[in-house]
Structure 1
């Protein structure tokens, strides 16, 4: 991944994006579903308010949406894994 294409305040997520940022929905969902609670908790805790705001700004930038860099796509699908992980953890604890 090219760091220049990634907002500075979310670059620390790159190792997690490399693990969870799988473009194929089925493979990504399978990875999340089959992960243990500790792994999912790490994923869910990786995005706080600062990261969420930075990602939202990035994902909603009309100029970047037009370009769809590899990094933009990887972070987008990483966020999908994050959302699914939250759901899975919630279902496992209720």
Structure 2
């Protein structure tokens, strides 16, 4: 479950994509990507690309050195991996 309050406000519109594609298990994430439509993949890739700077600012920021990543941090990181895999 993603808590929107733990996601930067400028990235909250990506929560539905993070919920679908933000799976930490590599094989499960690849299976979701592989079973998604081309339209869904296009939306994912465009959304990640359009928000790369904001994602970098958050995911490479202070939380990156925290020993316990939040569910939100993991989901958004995995969503980027899904976009890269796609």
Fold-level similarity (TM above 0.5): yes
- Report deviation, 1:48: 3.8
TM-score by length of 1: 0.79
* Matching residue of 2:48: 47
Larger Rg: 1
Unaligned runs of 5+ in 2: none
* Partner Cα distance (2:83, 2:49) in 1: 11
- Tell me how large the CA RMSD over aligned residues is: 1.3
**Structure 1 gaps, min length 5:** 86-94
SS in 1 for 2:58: helix
Give structure 1 regions of 4+ aligned residues with deviation exceeding 4 angstroms.
none
CA shift for structure 1 position 40: 0.9
- How many matched pairs? 83
For residues 26-82 of structure 1, give each alpha carbon's deviation from its aligned partner in whole angstroms, at most 9, with x where no partner exists: 010111122221121111121244x11011011111x31214111001100011001
Q: Which residue of 2 aligns with 1:59?
A: 59
